Amino acid sequence: MRLSSPLYRLKRKARLLSREQKIPLHEALDRIAAEEGFRGWSLLATRADATTPAGEIFAQLDHGDLVLVGGRPLQGKTLMSLRLTVEAMRSGNRGVFFSLEYTERDIEGRFRAIGVEFEHFEGLFEFDSSDAISADYIMERLASAPRGTLVVIDYLQILDQNRQKPELMVQVRALRSFARERGLILVFISQIDRSYDPSVKAYPDLKDVRLPNPLDLALFDKTFFLNKGEVQLRAAG
């Protein structure tokens, strides 16, 4: 059964319905799911997750990779990164999520949005929202992380916010060396410049990555750019 719209649009529709009819969001989500032919939102989300290429994408990642996931707001960057994390954990590896954008409760909600029970991965998943997030902090926190751990950094540009920290280029190079040495997969969620126009090209690319300060994007091994729920893989180097 094909969905009438990408998952992110259906969620937006549910939020609007919730506000207009003053009903709980979960009830609005279930109503939207019913319109799509599903008994509940969790079933719809599970079906949507099954049609995304997360498993295929994860299979293309190698230990030591630096991966960039880019897209404009509401295009599914966080959900895609969490799906990759789930694939890693399903393979018996660990997942770590660094973010200044979300709380742990938010992330639990994102797990539910892709039809995954957060509790199923208890002991394999860690969340960190420290204000001290930087390359040095991340490497310290991952000092004992086993080979194959998939790490999400939400988002690339937060490494560039604290002027007391090393330059962005220095931090990413340090993380690249660390990932190679330890056999980790580092996934950076990235903002895209507002100048990107989807009517001109279907997907953003490296030229559209928002960079307040210089960064050699060839440091990334693989990039995934999202638009309207679709994803495009590119080799960055």
pLDDT in tens, 17-59: 999 999 999 899 999 988 988 888 877 766 665 555 788 789 8
| This prediction's pTM | 0.79
CA atoms in the 13 A half-sphere facing the CB of 150: 24
Report residue 89: phi and psi, to 5°: -70, -35
The answer to whether 227 touches 215, Cβ cutoff 8 Å, is no
Q: Topology of domain 54-235, per CATH?
A: Rossmann fold (3.40.50)
What's the mean pLDDT in 180-187? 98
The answer to whether 89 touches 124, Cβ cutoff 8 Å, is yes
pLDDT classification of 119: cutoffs 50, 70, 90: confident
Spell out the domain ranges in the chain: 7-51, 54-235
More confident residue, 55 or 125: 125
> What pLDDT is attached to residue 50?
52
- For the chain, helix (H) and strand (E) counts, in that order, are 8, 7
- Cα three-residue angle 232-149-81, rounded to 5 degrees: 30
